[in-house]
Structure 1
Amino acid sequence: MATSDPTGRVSVDPPAAGGSGRAGGERGRAYRGGGASPRPCPLSAPGVGHRLPHARPAGQPGAGPPPAGRDGRATLHPHRPPAPQPSSDLSGVSPRRGDPLHRPGGDDPRDRAGNRLRRSGALAGTVRPLSDLPGGEGEVRKERGTVHGISFPGRGAWRGGFVGLVVLSLLVACAPSATSTVEATLTPVPLAAGERLRVVATTTIVGDVVARVGGEAIQLTVLLQPGEDPHSYHPRPSDLTALAEAHVLFVNGLGLEAFLDETLRNVGGDRPVVSVSEGITPRRHPRNPDQPDPHVWFDVRNVIVWVDNIETALSALDPAHADLYAANAAAYREALEALDAWIAEQVATVPEENRKLVTNHPAFGYFADRYGFEQIGTVYPVSPSAEPSAQDIARLEEAIRQYGVPAIFTENTVNPALAEQIAEDTGVALVPLYTGSLGGPGSGVESYVDLMRYDVTAIVEALRGGGTGGGQGE
């Protein structure tokens, strides 16, 4: 529900949410306050904590998903010791299917084996905090839209008395340590009676997962609007205001938010930044092996790691609601495990020889590794901001013809014009997907679970010959 306080500020309550677990392994040390890290490194550096077992080509030790078995089911390697398999019925996974993911409360959240869930984990990749910015009364924040009750700062919002460019220093601590980053860096925020933790997330996908864990205990603002591309985003004045007021900022990390490095460079203060991807072993970019692939959310197991990290951070900052965060996180983790199993079942209906992907840019590496696809090529070999050469386009068209790929999968955050040209030249279909952003209100793709269900349905139908996907992306 949208409400306004005496200053005229408009805020939107996030939903009660569900999801959790723990991120184990080696911790990364983070540094707080004005002192510099003895080993600073950019936000784009990969995490240094616990490494999630990562899929490899089938047949290798520690390999990812092998070919479908005799019963036609794809086999997945779990990210932790086997537990009773969750139901593949997603009636309780999608908020649109009647059983909301929001499960706040719970006296003693436990996992499937009956063990009480911990509220700790590895959160390296936190950075030097934000500073408070001077400003007068009378702030007005215009709401542009919401996704599950998350507020998005309006482009016209501004703050009286706030002058100049606000920048944030993002110095990632890279030195490993046996001490939990949360225990070493994140300390409880003093909140007045009835005051909620003010949280900012960079992308709509990160924001949705934060909302599932934080529920009604947090006041959440998301910087990017639905449909905005993180690769080309530029912060607005209202975004800087939201950052200045935040108790914590959650980022995807692994170089996705390149805009933070330059635009938010030099602000000090005490607002920590948490990389939700800490503890995930990143893939390497196919064209730039020195750079990590930041699109980790296309492997559902990685989003379970996000949930672990978010729960740990929120519980450290707001211990009064730690039980709520743990219960929400546990419920959402269960839903994600069911989603992962459902994806495997859907993929098993596609003949193995048809599991070939041509996409707009290299965003589906984690998806391909986890669920047994081969990436044939991309329209933009590096990123949507770097135009391909004529030779790149010619090679892609040749590969499409050679492998008999039936479709090019486009993205809701990338202009499809070049993909349309290639599809026309090769006679294949265009299938729109949601990739770096959720859809807007009413799109039907307003949560991470919605996004994965939509994309998997579209891919499966296109590759097994059942149509051209789940609908038109935004």
Structure 2
Amino acid sequence: MLSPFTLRSKLIACALMMGLVSCATPEPQGSNAATEKEDNLPLVVATSSILCDLTQQLAQETIQLKCLVGAGVDPHVYQPTPEDRQAIDAAQLILYGGYNFDASLIKLIKASNNSAPKIAVHEQAVPNPLMGKEHDHGEEEEHSHKASEKVADPHIWHDAKNGIKMVEVIAQQLKNLQPNQSKKYQNNQEKIATELTLIDRWIKEQITTIPAEKRKLVTTHDALGYYVNAYDLEFEGALEGFSTEESPTAARVSELVKEIKKTKVPTIFAESSINPKLMTTVAKEANVKVSEANLYTDGLGESGTRADTYQKMLIENTQTIVTGLGGNYQSFQPN
């Protein structure tokens, strides 16, 4: 049996040995090193899934990228979170759409005391936007602008040529942020621009396969004006204006049904981020089809879908439109 003195000596020796082992064995550094590396990169905040995707394609691993409105979420009705505010306040570059596309986030961005560049990408890329009515309101509703007042259409990216301009704006801001990465950003900018030039040409070719009398588009909200203008279609109407913020009135639904019957539109199109129920009702009353595939009008599809990048979204929307209107769709083949 050990004496108290001997037992205490052994315990002390054991403790000393454990301490030596602890000091001699470094803690795993993998995760900490990765975190430190990430912490050393500039934080860039982008408000929409499209801006996020283009920024990621340009910057790749050279930045921390925080996307505020995820894929499949409607930016028109998005409500900012406390985490959004924290990211905006901490960012070294803030990229947002502008033209009131991401209205709630624009207010948050402009209210922030952060002195980092705050770039309205849509406004810089297309300083002369399409103009139109925001939406129709009942007489009892109050609004900040008159019903007849023209407002800018923010959905500029549906013309691939405007996508090239957006990439140019984002790339320049990244170059300003990290001049040492300018060559990488320039190379990626040129690569994306080449892809979009090919896609633009391909879209035009696909639209020509639709019979001329069927090149008519009806959608949930007025988001495809740039697409219609760029690719020789006629826009026949929508349930809502540029924003999805307010539900259409019964009068507007009735009016759209009449327009569809008059123009003999063969197919109408619902949208990925908006409940298709109302468009189904319109189609039934007008005796036309609703496209089996939805259009991606306000953002990208979720990861793993056929529209989870900007380029793929343009291709997927074109396939949906061409198929729905009776054209002969040919798959996009990059050169």
| Alpha-carbon spacing, 1:388–1:327, altered in 2? closer, same or farther (3 Å) | same
Given that 1:276 and 1:305 are in contact with CA atoms closer than 8 Å, whether structure 2 keeps it comes out as: no
- 3-state SS, counterpart of residue 235 of structure 2: strand
Q: TM-score normalised to the size of structure 2?
A: 0.79
Give the match for residue 313 of structure 1: 173
Query: How far 1:279 sits from its partner (Å)?
Result: 3.9
Distance, in Å, in 1 between the alignment partners of 2:35 and 2:272 is 31
Distance, in Å, in 1 between the alignment partners of 2:179 and 2:33 is 28
Given that 1:215 and 1:328 are in contact with CA atoms closer than 8 Å, whether structure 2 keeps it comes out as: no
Q: Which has the larger radius of gyration?
A: 2
Alignment of 1:77-116 (within 5 A): none
- 3-state SS, counterpart of residue 358 of structure 1: strand
Distance, in Å, in 2 between the alignment partners of 1:375 and 1:382 is 13
Distance, in Å, in 2 between the alignment partners of 1:354 and 1:10 is 57
Identify, as 1 or 2, the structure richer in helix. Answer: 2
Query: How far 1:450 sits from its partner (Å)?
Result: 0.8
Alignment of 1:439-454 (within 5 A): 439-454=301-316
1:323-380 alpha-carbon deviations (Å, 9 max, x no partner): 1101110111111101101101111111222110000001010001010111111022
Distance, in Å, in 1 between the alignment partners of 2:162 and 2:69 is 21
1:67-95 alpha-carbon deviations (Å, 9 max, x no partner): xxxxxxxxxxxxxxxxxxxxxxxxxxxxx
Q: 1:282 aligns with which of 117, 129, 145?
A: 129
- 3-state SS, counterpart of residue 388 of structure 1: coil
Give the match for residue 64 of structure 2: 219
| Alpha-carbon spacing, 1:414–1:275, altered in 2? closer, same or farther (3 Å) | same
- 3-state SS, counterpart of residue 357 of structure 1: strand
> Identical aligned pairs, as a percentage?
31
Query: How far 1:395 sits from its partner (Å)?
Result: 1.4
Give the match for residue 405 of structure 1: 265
Note if 1:460 corresponds to 2:305: no
Given that 1:200 and 1:250 are in contact with CA atoms closer than 8 Å, whether structure 2 keeps it comes out as: yes
Give the match for residue 103 of structure 2: 258
- 3-state SS, counterpart of residue 285 of structure 1: strand
1:276-320 alpha-carbon deviations (Å, 9 max, x no partner): 220412000245543100000011111111111111111111101
Q: Which runs of 4+ in 1 moved over 3 A?
A: 3-11, 261-265, 286-289
1:104-162 alpha-carbon deviations (Å, 9 max, x no partner): xxxxxxxxxxxxxxxxxxxxxxxxxxxxxxxxxxxxxxxxxxxxxxxxxxxxxxxxxxx
| Alpha-carbon spacing, 1:397–1:233, altered in 2? closer, same or farther (3 Å) | same
Query: How far 1:382 sits from its partner (Å)?
Result: 5.4
Query: How far 1:214 sits from its partner (Å)?
Result: 1.1
- 3-state SS, counterpart of residue 240 of structure 2: coil
Give the match for residue 388 of structure 1: 248
Given that 2:228 and 2:235 are in contact with CA atoms closer than 8 Å, whether structure 1 keeps it comes out as: yes
| Alpha-carbon spacing, 1:425–1:360, altered in 2? closer, same or farther (3 Å) | same
1 or 2 for the larger relative contact order (CA 8 Å, sep ≥6)? 1
Given that 2:132 and 2:151 are in contact with CA atoms closer than 8 Å, whether structure 1 keeps it comes out as: yes
1:156-178 alpha-carbon deviations (Å, 9 max, x no partner): xxxxxxxxxxxxxxxxxxxxxxx
Give the match for residue 162 of structure 2: 302
- Give the aligned length: 285
Alignment of 1:122-271 (within 5 A): 195-271=40-116
Given that 2:207 and 2:327 are in contact with CA atoms closer than 8 Å, whether structure 1 keeps it comes out as: no
Distance, in Å, in 1 between the alignment partners of 2:321 and 2:30 is 43
| Alpha-carbon spacing, 1:211–1:4, altered in 2? closer, same or farther (3 Å) | farther
Give the match for residue 118 of structure 2: 273
| Alpha-carbon spacing, 1:333–1:261, altered in 2? closer, same or farther (3 Å) | closer
Give the match for residue 325 of structure 1: 185
Distance, in Å, in 1 between the alignment partners of 2:81 and 2:95 is 18
1:195 is matched by which residue type in structure 2? Answer: N
- 3-state SS, counterpart of residue 114 of structure 2: coil
1:435 is matched by which residue type in structure 2? Answer: T
| Alpha-carbon spacing, 1:253–1:383, altered in 2? closer, same or farther (3 Å) | closer
1:417 is matched by which residue type in structure 2? Answer: K
Q: TM-score normalised to the size of structure 1?
A: 0.57
1:463 is matched by which residue type in structure 2? Answer: L
Gaps spanning 5+ residues in structure 1: where? 14-193
Distance, in Å, in 2 between the alignment partners of 1:359 and 1:205 is 20
| Alpha-carbon spacing, 1:6–1:245, altered in 2? closer, same or farther (3 Å) | farther
